[in-house]
Structure 1
Amino acid sequence: MQNSNNRTVVSIKDTAANPAPLGLLGFGLTTVLLNISNAGLIPMSAMILGMGIFYGGIAQIIAGIMEWKKNNTFAATAFTSYGMFWLAFVTIKTMPVLGLAAAPDGKALGAFLFMWGLFTFVMFIGTLRISRALQIVFGSLTILFMLLAIGDFTGNHSLINIAGYEGIFCGFSAIYTGLAQVINEVYGKEILPIGAMAKK
């Protein structure tokens, strides 16, 4: 179209798919599996670490980059950060086994998890303008990080087990939110509610 100065203005329509379901599912599925281990139901194994690298890590980073292209600062920050969290988590678990670094003690792990809990709490504040579903995801994730941090600081394994069950809930809330976005887009209407906030 043309503006008043007879200059041509070209508008580019964004036709890329919504990357949020990929990021939410990468986070959710990996979180459920890790916290089944935290709850003491299965041992830590290559299954969880592999999910952490590829679906929790790389898939979320891809989603974050796509959100950056869509000018969505919140989602770009969240998905890229939590993707890097999973890669860092796998590194923490594998480097000592490979003899590349000393294993962190409880205080070091507690500090690591506390900082992620603090980051998540601030991100939770952002969800108050987005949707109820994301409020549940980020709210329960904040609680999860803090429970795990306290468990590692104190060496209280019972608390880590409790955090595992809370983390299973958190992971499934992210899975629901991601799949709800997919189903709602496919059907062109809200089949699975996510409680989106009204735009002002």
Structure 2
Amino acid sequence: MSTEAEVSNNGALEKDVGGIAPQQSSETAPDVTPMSAHEHEVARAAARFGYGPLAHVNTTDATLRPFGGEFQPGLYKPVTDRKFGNPAPLGLSAFALTTFVLSAINMNAADITEPNIVVALAFGYGGLVQLLAGMWEMAVGNTFGATALSSYGGFWLSFAIVLTPGGFEIVDSLGGSSSKEFNYSFGLFLMGWFIFTTVLLFCTLKSTVAFFLLFFFLDLTFLLLGIAYLQGGGTAANPKIAKAGGFFGLLAAFAAWYNALAGIADTSNSFFILPVIHFPWSATGRSRREKSERELA
């Protein structure tokens, strides 16, 4: 059995992320503004892609399905009467820009050799702003988003603390950036984040391709950069491996921006909706396949 998704009070088309909103009783349901002929056409076109007020959903499925822009890889209960916006695009954007700049430097863009400019971004945007976005994810009930965004916000803050010139003197206390002790210590630091990212990656295997690729590219970035510092001979990071890590870091940055745009763009502000492509074994993939089989029967 299927039903139509709800229309917002002001008549604007809402973006469906694969789930359904809680049903309101007939006594308390607000008046719904009738849709114009043009809005009906847009809604019918949108329904083909699984979003919009005419998108058919399973009424027995009371959970939202995976969607990259919501930074939620698994099934979870929808937030009832949520008065907050989606904090995921903000956190994703903060992560993406900081990762982009550092990865470009790791690939020796414009012959830049020192990542000092990243310290400002790591403190202000990738660190503080992403941490705040993670805390708001907790407020809206998204445990995965809160864990991931807050943790990577903490990563950028700790990264900035390590590399602050003349500040915390962590590099100098370890013998300088060319010392064996610093490079091995920083390599272990990065390998720890590789392990953490692998844990999160496992939680995206039933999600969307865009969401999975974000963590897959980031996982390879941490792995390669960790190996670069551990296998650099103790005096400097292996330049070829570090450059490879920078390449996958760029891919992770663009994947984060893609997921951020997927969470921002809807029929009220964009002429297009980014496809996030659900895995065929995910809940959404299975339901769409079953629907197609019923239509062919």
Normalised TM-score (structure 1) = 0.86
Provide the secondary structure at the position in 2 that maps to 1:165. helix
Give the Cα–Cα distance (whole angstroms) in 1 for the partners of residues 168 and 137 of structure 2: 37
CA shift for structure 1 position 187:
4.4
Relative to structure 1, the CA distance from residue 186 to residue 47 in structure 2 (aligned partners, 3 Å threshold; closer, same or farther) is: farther
* Matched residue, 2:292: none
Alignment of 1:42-191 (within 5 A): 42-94=112-164, 97-98=166-167, 100-101=169-170, 102-103=173-174, 105-155=182-232, 156-184=238-266, 186-187=268-269, 191=273
Give the Cα–Cα distance (whole angstroms) in 1 for the partners of residues 228 and 205 of structure 2: 28
CA shift for structure 1 position 98:
3.1
1 or 2, which has the higher helix percentage?
1
* Matched residue, 2:85: 17
Q: Which amino acid aligns with 2:127?
A: G
Relative to structure 1, the CA distance from residue 169 to residue 188 in structure 2 (aligned partners, 3 Å threshold; closer, same or farther) is: closer
* Matched residue, 1:28: 96
CA shift for structure 1 position 164:
0.8
Give the number of the structure whose alpha-carbon radius of gyration is greater.
2
Give the Cα–Cα distance (whole angstroms) in 2 for the partners of residues 185 and 60 of structure 1: 26
Relative to structure 1, the CA distance from residue 109 to residue 73 in structure 2 (aligned partners, 3 Å threshold; closer, same or farther) is: same
CA shift for structure 1 position 185:
6.3
Provide the secondary structure at the position in 2 that maps to 1:175. helix
* Cα contact 2:116–2:163 (8 A) shared by 1: no
RMSD: 2.3
Relative to structure 1, the CA distance from residue 185 to residue 92 in structure 2 (aligned partners, 3 Å threshold; closer, same or farther) is: farther
Give the Cα–Cα distance (whole angstroms) in 2 for the partners of residues 174 and 30 of structure 1: 11
Provide the secondary structure at the position in 2 that maps to 1:127. coil
* Cα contact 1:137–1:170 (8 A) shared by 2: yes
Give the Cα–Cα distance (whole angstroms) in 2 for the partners of residues 138 and 187 of structure 1: 28
Normalised TM-score (structure 2) = 0.59
Relative to structure 1, the CA distance from residue 99 to residue 138 in structure 2 (aligned partners, 3 Å threshold; closer, same or farther) is: closer
CA shift for structure 1 position 43:
3.5
Provide the secondary structure at the position in 2 that maps to 1:184. coil
* Cα contact 1:106–1:154 (8 A) shared by 2: no
CA shift for structure 1 position 46:
4.3
Give the Cα–Cα distance (whole angstroms) in 2 for the partners of residues 189 and 77 of structure 1: 32
CA shift for structure 1 position 198:
3.4
Deviation track 1:117-150 (CA, whole Å, cap 9, x = no partner) reads: 0000110111123322110000110010000000
- Identical pairs, percent: 34
CA shift for structure 1 position 169:
1.1
Relative to structure 1, the CA distance from residue 24 to residue 91 in structure 2 (aligned partners, 3 Å threshold; closer, same or farther) is: same
Q: Note the residue ranges of structure 1 that are not aligned, 5 or more in a row.
A: 2-10
* Cα contact 1:61–1:83 (8 A) shared by 2: yes
Relative to structure 1, the CA distance from residue 198 to residue 116 in structure 2 (aligned partners, 3 Å threshold; closer, same or farther) is: same
Q: Which amino acid aligns with 1:60?
A: Q
